Structure formats: structure tokens, C-alpha cells
């Protein structure tokens, strides 16, 4: 393929013909007017940067569905091919041959049904990915308020699902018509495992580990090992030592090369028993070990699907609180209008650094309004500072007398001293 060279100052092959003059009217007619950039464009760009999980989760679910369908097809096809090979080499009677072929045909029909179901599942996942891309593309400066409202509902659904409020999350998604924009089906998968662990049953969690074995191995997950240890502990708790030893040989021994110390500690429970007072082994029989497994599963589940470990609601709130947090927020006289006056927000902001304030802002204790050159601060003889507007109104109502709302001390308005903000 040949490409014409672009003319430049040293290009001797360029034509010597001078370009035709362009009149202002012609330039105006040929130019397409560029719309002014939206004032919300920077805000929109920053908002879209936070939507990684929004696309990652359905894509990971889509890949998982494809892998599961592929494994099922390979398994069935391998069984059918093996059956055909056996039939070709075996000396069947006509009736046996017909029966054998009928069983293969039934198996192929079952495979066809699985392929159709798998195809429908893949199409649904692809549709969800498409819906989310369309949702992101629909965001612009004109409908930013509506788009942000939808995002708030998505964040609330995410929080409810993580906190196990599944029914409420489903109702909110249905009322808002955002089923394709939230991950209810993904969290329903986790729900079964979490409820089983809360009921002290590791079987669904082990099945989940087997289903995602390659990815968990790649991330060096210890979840399956922790589940196996707990199952061993339950056998010891039931004083079924022979079964516990057999179980350890079959399921725990392969982990010895990488987790020998933990393995030795758990195996020692065969000697110390469930009613031991030794703190090292007593903790292994405590009920909180199941809570630890639930937390461990949630972490691995989030990693597998590319989710944040913290709920999105917490992350967004912390982003806002980081701009508001100052040492004054944790004092008893913190104004009630400050979100950090509430204990729940204080706890959420605890790991955050203090906001860097280049300029101090003075807010009147009485009116809650900003004190500036238009409404300068006035200093009472006791050292407390209030805005001119608030003190003038108080003086008008009390014949020129001022009462400090904090100490109850009374002064004449003439005793006030004006303060200057530098």
C-alpha cells in the first residue's frame, strides 16, 4: 500500500500552485460550529473513573459462565466418544448394540439441552455487559443529575447485598428498573455459601472452591485449606478421631508442604480435645472460627469478581469525609451540621487523614453563617467570637445588651472589639 507524502518546507515534489484564497464567508459556511464544553464535563470524567467494578463484575461472570459451559461440553463429549469407541471394539449382540446406541443418543440429546441452556445463560450475561456499556455511554452533562441518581441507587443496592439485605436490594432494583445494572445474581451465588457457613456446613463452600480452583490457586488463596481445617476440627469436636485421622490423610496432607505449622497445630487437637483449657488450641473450637470463614469467603469472592473489599457506599462516603475531617470534628462542641458530629461517620472517617486546610473559615456559633469582610467577627470581653450580624440582632432585642450563649455573661454592645481575618 502506497501512502502520499505530506508536503513540508523541504519537499521538492510539492506543487508550486498557490492555494486559492479563502474568504471569511466561505470559511464560515464550511466550518462546523463546535458546541461549548459542558461545565459538568470534568465532574463526569471523574465519575466514570470510579466505574471499574461496574463493568468488571458482569464480564468476570460472563467468562465464568463460558468456562463452565466449556467444561460441561468437554466432559459429555469425552464420555460419548469413549462410548462409541467401546461399542466399536466390543462384540455386542444386536439388542445390546441397539440399547448402547440408544443410551448414546440420549446422552447427546442431554448435551444438546445443556448447550441450549448454556447459550441462553451466555446471552443473558452478554446482554448485561451491553446494558452497562450503554448506561455509561448515556452519561453526559445534560442528564448528569438523573444519571447520578441512578448511580446512587446502584450503590445502595450494592451495600444491601453485601450486608445480606437481599430482599430489600431486589425490591429497590425492581422499583428503579436497574436489574441489569446491579449484581444480584452474583451475590445470590454467595448467599448460599454464606448461609451454609453460618449453619456450620462447609460443603457448599468447598464446592465453590472446586468450581473456581484454578483461579483461587493463581491468587494463592488459603480458603479451601481453612475450610478443610474446620471440617477436621468438627470431627475432633464430635470425638470421631478415626474419621478425623482418615480425613487428615486424604485432604490435609497435600497442604503440608506449604502450611506445615498450621497443620501441626490443628492435628494436635487430637490430643488436647475440645474441652482443653490451653489457649493455643481452645480458640480453634470457638464459634468465632465460623465467622472468620465467612469473612474469608467474602474476601475471596470479591477478589474473584474484581469487586472492592469495602462496600461502594463506604468508599464514596469516605471520599467526602476526607475533605471535611479536621481535629475540631472530634470535639464535644462540634456543630451539629457537621456530618462528623455523628458517631457513625466518625467511625467511618477514623482511618482517614485530616483534611489539609490552606485557609481557615470562621463560622458563627449562633447563626452558623460564614464570618468574612461582609459579616466580620466581633470579640466579647470573655474571648468568645461571634458574627456582627448575630450580635447586632441580639443587641436590638435587648436594648444594647449582649448575652454570651456559651457562658451566659452579659455585656454592652459598646464593649465588643472587632476582629480582622488575615
**Residue pLDDT, tens place only, 14-24:** 434 444 444 44
Percent of the chain clearing pLDDT 90 (strictly above): 41
pLDDT at 420: 81
CB 325 within 8 A of CB 346: no
Q: Is the pLDDT of residue 171 over 80?
A: yes
pLDDT at 216: 92
For residues 287 and 381, give the distance between their C-alpha atoms in angstroms, rounded to a whole number.
62
**Residue pLDDT, tens place only, 353-406:** 888 766 667 889 999 888 988 899 999 999 999 999 999 999 999 999 999 999
Average pLDDT over residues 130-140: 86
Q: Which of 81-90, 148-157, 320-329 has the highest mean pLDDT?
A: 148-157
Q: Is the dihedral of CA 284, 285, 290, 291 positive or negative?
A: negative
pLDDT at 31: 44
Residue 170: other Cβ atoms inside 10 A? 17
Average pLDDT over residues 214-218: 90
Q: Which residues of 272-305 are buried (b: 16+ CB within 10 A; e: fewer)?
A: beeeeeeeebeebbeeebbeebbebbbebbbebb
Grid coordinates of 47: 465519575
Grid coordinates of 377: 467577627
Run of H or E including 67: helix 52-89
Residue 380: other Cβ atoms inside 10 A? 20
**Residue pLDDT, tens place only, 70-113:** 888 888 888 888 888 877 777 777 887 788 888 888 888 888 88
Q: Is the pLDDT of residue 141 over 80?
A: no
For residues 22 and 28, give the distance between their C-alpha atoms in angstroms, rounded to a whole number.
10
Nearest to 384 by CA among 417, 350, 346: 417
Beta strands in 62-124 (DSSP E): none
pTM score of the predicted model = 0.67
- Backbone φ and ψ for 418, nearest 5 degrees, come out as -75, 135
pLDDT at 26: 42
Nearest to 164 by CA among 308, 285, 311: 311
Of residues 22 and 189, more confidence is placed in 189
pLDDT at 359: 64
**Residue pLDDT, tens place only, 300-319:** 999 999 898 889 999 989 98
For residues 41 and 36, give the distance between their C-alpha atoms in angstroms, rounded to a whole number.
11
pLDDT at 44: 60
Amino acid at each position: 500500500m502506497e501512502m502520499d507524502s505530506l508536503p513540508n518546507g523541504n519537499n521538492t515534489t510539492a506543487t508550486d500552485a498557490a492555494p486559492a484564497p479563502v474568504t471569511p464567508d466561505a470559511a464560515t459556511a464550511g466550518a462546523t460550529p463546535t458546541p461549548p464544553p459542558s461545565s459538568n464535563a470534568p465532574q463526569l470524567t471523574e465519575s466514570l473513573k470510579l466505574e471499574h467494578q461496574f463493568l468488571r463484575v458482569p464480564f468476570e461472570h460472563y467468562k465464568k459462565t463460558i468456562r463452565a459451559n466449556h467444561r460441561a461440553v468437554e466432559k459429555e463429549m469425552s464420555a460419548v466418544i469413549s462410548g462409541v469407541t467401546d461399542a466399536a471394539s466390543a462384540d455386542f449382540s444386536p439388542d445390546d448394540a441397539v440399547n448402547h446406541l440408544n443410551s448414546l443418543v440420549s446422552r447427546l440429546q442431554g448435551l444438546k439441552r445443556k448447550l441450549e441452556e448454556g447459550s441462553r445463560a451466555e446471552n443473558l450475561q452478554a446482554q448485561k455487559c451491553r446494558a452497562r456499556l450503554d448506561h455509561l455511554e448515556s452519561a453526559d452533562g445534560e442528564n448528569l443529575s438523573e444519571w447520578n441518581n441512578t448511580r446512587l441507587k446502584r450503590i445502595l443496592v450494592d451495600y444491601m447485598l453485601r450486608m445480606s439485605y437481599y430482599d430489600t436490594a431486589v425490591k429497590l432494583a425492581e422499583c428503579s428498573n436497574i436489574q441489569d445494572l446491579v449484581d444480584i445474581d452474583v451475590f445470590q451465588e454467595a448467599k448460599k455459601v454464606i448461609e451454609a457457613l453460618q449453619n456450620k456446613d462447609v460443603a457448599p463452600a468447598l464446592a465453590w472452591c472446586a468450581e473456581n480452583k484454578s483461579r483461587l490457586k493463581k491468587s494463592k488463596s488459603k480458603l479451601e485449606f481453612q475450610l478443610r481445617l474446620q471440617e477436621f476440627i468438627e470431627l475432633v469436636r464430635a470425638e470421631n478421631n478415626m474419621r478425623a485421622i482418615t480425613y487428615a490423610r486424604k485432604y490435609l496432607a497435600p497442604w503440608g508442604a506449604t502450611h506445615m505449622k498450621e497443620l501441626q497445630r490443628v492435628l494436635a487437637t487430637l490430643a488436647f480435645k475440645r474441652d482443653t483449657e490451653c489457649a493455643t488450641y481452645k480458640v480453634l473450637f470457638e464459634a468465632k472460627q465460623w465467622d472468620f470463614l465467612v469473612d474469608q469467603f467474602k474476601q475471596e469472592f470479591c477478589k474473584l469478581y474484581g469487586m472492592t473489599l469495602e462496600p461502594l457506599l463506604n468508599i464514596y462516603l469516605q471520599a467526602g469525609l476526607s475533605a471535611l475531617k479536621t481535629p475540631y470534628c472530634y470535639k464535644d462542641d462540634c456543630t451539629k451540621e457537621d456530618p462528623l458530629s455523628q458517631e457513625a461517620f466518625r467511625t467511618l472517617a477514623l482511618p482517614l487523614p485530616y483534611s489539609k486546610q490552606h485557609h481557615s473559615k470562621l463560622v458563627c456559633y449562633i447563626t452558623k453563617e460564614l464570618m468574612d469582610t461582609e459579616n466580620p467577627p466581633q470579640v466579647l470581653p470573655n474571648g468568645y467570637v461571634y458574627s456582627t450580624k448575630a450580635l447586632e440582632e441580639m443587641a436590638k432585642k435587648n436594648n444594647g445588651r449582649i448575652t454570651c450563649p456559651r457562658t451566659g455573661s452579659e455585656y454592652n454592645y459598646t464593649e465588643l472589639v472587632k476582629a480582622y481575618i488575615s
